Chains A and B, each alone.
Chain A
């Protein structure tokens, strides 16, 4: 089984577009969305939810007004500025429990918090595991790990060859969880100063993992000079650029219709996306659409 994660560093470079296209073409894959903060893959893959689960991701402190003697010790000890006027601000509480442990009146409880939901679904292309973190919740890394673990179990149990994962932007907690255990990272970048800058930081992070890295440049023709610079940068680093996707209005139209771009048209962008799928799964591992 091979786990391919689609990442980008910079947001909005086209991770979901690429992931959905790979998902539509791979014959034999479990699909996951690890961008639990702003999950969008469902908009193109249209999953039918089979099982929904609650994610109890964290604990938050709760102060009993009755027992509290307003000594202020908890507010002083809290390093996350989550206690003010003897009340807990759940947005900033990180669930460390220091307040609960030092309260002489036992006036503070740690309460399990529903931090989101996760789902096992069916799509036209295979099973999908996805999640939605609750608004202003934390512990996205833990939810990502849970999604990935479930996808692996399904792949092993049902004999799927690939797991294809849509990843989150950035280089922090959820990205580190997404990298963990992956065999290959497909990094989608765009030809811009920001795209290159963020690619460099993501590649440095990738060095910490045993993961093969490949790059796709999206909308390469919007800034061809920058695109060449990124290609040269990748060559110097020994990283293969396996696709240069042109700007193509059909991609925008496909997204607006909620269809993976490779199924919407056979235009120039779809052609490159198909080629990326063939390079990833082999000709025999790809579906004809």
Chain B
């Protein structure tokens, strides 16, 4: 079962929910945690994995053989990202703009374009507290997170049999391509929010995305009791299941701040996270 933990707004507690849910489950079933927040991967700070494998994520960018190039103008004409410019004597490649679509090398009639692999990120795999742990990291200065996210998720196929395991995806915030790549294909999506106008506004956007993707979903309210009750009213109106509430508590905040796990330090929360899993399982199987 693949469960994506996402949110529109950043900093609502996605990683807190993902890491603690994983730890709460690990004695009951096989668990894999995939950190797909590749711009700012944080789950490792809480789970301290030991990595045994490392693989770089590469983007194929064009390399042009000036001797073969006839300056026919096809490659510069078809590149949708304006990553190629003809300077007369040579073709200049703006690697930062290239999406690696392969169109130029495929269509060059002179066979002057080959592709070279540019590293844009890293995927590491190992174990943490007896669980499988996979993490993607976007290289600093690189723009494109989705290829790194896809590479992390490609580990799902080679991982433990999905039916008997819980695969938990820690998604990036937002509602655009990185978040969509992270949550697509999940059996269920948990949207984490907080009871403030910001939390509500961004939750509504995230609900729009998961509805469009057709993924069943429910909501976790973190720091409950801190703001107002508009989020709960919205959930009731929309008939969206409220899966769990984590109350605001300075002790919880302090625990997360130093990289601690709530389910290890506060026994009452271990039960709360177990109940969260039961609620998810019931809904996926229904």
| Residues of A in contact with B (beta carbons under 8 Å apart) | 8-13, 16, 37-38, 40, 43, 59, 77, 79-80, 91, 94-98, 101-102, 133, 135-138, 140-141, 168-173, 175-176, 190-195, 197-198, 201, 204-205, 208, 219, 222-223, 225-226, 249, 252, 255-256, 258
Contacts and interface: CB of A to CB of B under 8 A. Distances in A.
A197 B101 contact: no
Closest A-B pairs by Cβ, 4 of them: A11-B10, A12-B11, A96-B101, A223-B257
Contact of B176 (A8, A10, A133): A133
Contacts of A141: 143
A191 B257 contact: yes
Interface residues of B, number: 58
A141 to B, nearest CB: 7
B8 interface: yes
A12 B102 CA distance: 37
Contacts, number: 181
B42 interface: yes
Interface of B: 8-12, 15, 39-40, 42, 45-46, 78, 80-81, 99-103, 106-107, 138, 140-145, 172-178, 180, 184, 194, 196-198, 201-202, 205, 208-209, 212-213, 226-228, 250, 253-254, 256-259
Contacts of B42: 10, 193-194, 197-198
Contacts of B257: 190-193, 195, 222-223, 226
Given A96-B81, A194-B45, A198-B42, A91 B140 contact: no
B144 A11 contact: no
Nearest to A169: B10
Given A37-B175, A256-B197, A204 B140 contact: yes
A168 B9 CA distance: 10
Contact of B173 (A80, A169, A194): A169
B141 A136 contact: no
Contacts of A77: 102, 106
Contact of A258 (B9, B140, B197): B197
Contacts of A222: 250, 253-254, 257
Given A193-B46, A194-B15, A256-B227, 12 more contacts: A10-B10, A11-B10, A38-B175, A40-B9, A102-B106, A172-B145, A191-B257, A192-B259, A193-B257, A222-B250, A222-B257, A255-B197
Nearest to A175: B39
Nearest to B223: A252
12 contacts: A9-B40, A10-B10, A94-B101, A96-B99, A136-B180, A137-B176, A173-B144, A176-B141, A176-B143, A192-B256, A219-B253, A255-B227
Contact of B40 (A37, A198, A219): A198
A133 B175 contact: yes
Contacts of B213: 91, 136
A38 B205 contact: yes
Nearest to A191: B257
Contacts of A204: 140
Contacts of A190: 11, 257
Nearest to A36: B176
A57 to B, nearest CB: 11
Contact of B141 (A9, A133, A192, A208): A208
A223 B10 contact: no
B140 A140 contact: no
A120 to B, nearest CB: 21
A172 B39 contact: yes
B204 to A, nearest CB: 10
Nearest to B145: A172
A249 B223 CA distance: 12
Nearest to B37: A170
B175 A193 contact: no
A173 B8 CA distance: 17
A172 B212 CA distance: 24
Most B CB contacts (10 A, CB to CB) among A10, A193, A194 go to A194
A170 B258 CA distance: 21
Contact of A205 (B140, B172, B227, B253): B140
B10 A12 contact: yes
B196 A256 contact: yes
A59 B12 CA distance: 33
Nearest to A91: B180
A10 B12 CA distance: 10
A252 B257 CA distance: 19
A101 B75 CA distance: 11
A98 B11 contact: no
A98 B101 contact: yes
Given A94-B101, A97-B78, A223-B253, A38 B140 contact: no
A22 to B, nearest CB: 17
Contacts of A136: 175-176, 180, 209, 212-213
Contacts of A8: 10
A225 B260 CA distance: 14
A172 B138 contact: yes
Contacts of A193: 42, 45-46, 257-259
